[in-house]
Amino acid sequence: MKLKIMITGHKVHDVGYRYHLLGLARSSKLKGFDAENQIADVKQHVEVLVEGGDAAIRKFGDIIQIFRTPGADISDISLSSYKKWAMKLAEYSGWCTNIQLNMGIQAILDSNKIIERVDSCQEDTIKAVQENWAFFAFYSTMLILMAFIAFAIIFTAIGTDFDLDFAR
């Protein structure tokens, strides 16, 4: 028996629906399975094709009505027959694994770019601190020297003997 399931809603993509359905298909002992994300009329669809024994297909049709993917916003689940073919369940599972690995590889590459940017920002920050530290040290020294000169002028003006000989 063959069954086409069309799951429609505002949010049925990017919530793990196809992987959820794959798990349900395995537990229902289906032989064929294919699921594809589609968009039509501003709504998201997941088209699912399944093949298997009559009892397994009926069981799957019942299960998908009850066990829905968390995070999905579903407006309709329709069931109909079809004439196309569906991949073997293991082939679809392998295809999903390949897709997830490719996404994982891209995420790793993207994270490496982020790490490089963070490293670059850290280097810029260290350089700025070093440059500002030299600026701060120079002006701090100048302020101390100016304060020393100001005290010397004040003590001289009020007639106090101001001796710079600290060796005594």
The percentage of the chain sitting over the pLDDT mark of 90, rounded to a whole number, equals: 36
How far apart CA 16 and CA 6 sit, in angstroms, is: 16
Q: d(Cα 26, Cα 4) in Å, to the nearest integer?
A: 16
pLDDT in the model for residue 159: 63
The pLDDT value given to residue 167: 55
Tens digit of pLDDT for each residue in 109-123?
888 788 888 777 888
Give pLDDT, residue 161.
Answer: 56
pTM of the predicted protein model? 0.60
Strand locations in the chain, DSSP E? 2-11, 32-40, 43-51, 73-80
Pairing of strands 2-11, 32-40: unpaired
Q: Which residues of the chain have a pLDDT value below 50?
A: none
Dump pLDDT digits (tens) for 125-156.
Answer: 778 777 777 777 788 888 888 888 888 787 77
Rounded distance between C-alpha atoms, residue 1 and residue 161, angstroms: 112
By the 8 A CB rule, do 47 and 4 touch? yes
Residue 20 one-letter amino acid? H
What is the C-alpha to C-alpha distance for residues 168 and 166, in angstroms, rounded to an integer?
6
Q: Which residue has tokens 């069954």? A: 3
Give the pLDDT score at 126: 79
Q: What is the pLDDT of residue 166?
A: 54
Distance CA 52, CA 73 (A): 28
SS (H, E, C) 69-93: CCCCEEEEEEEECCCCCCCEHHHHH
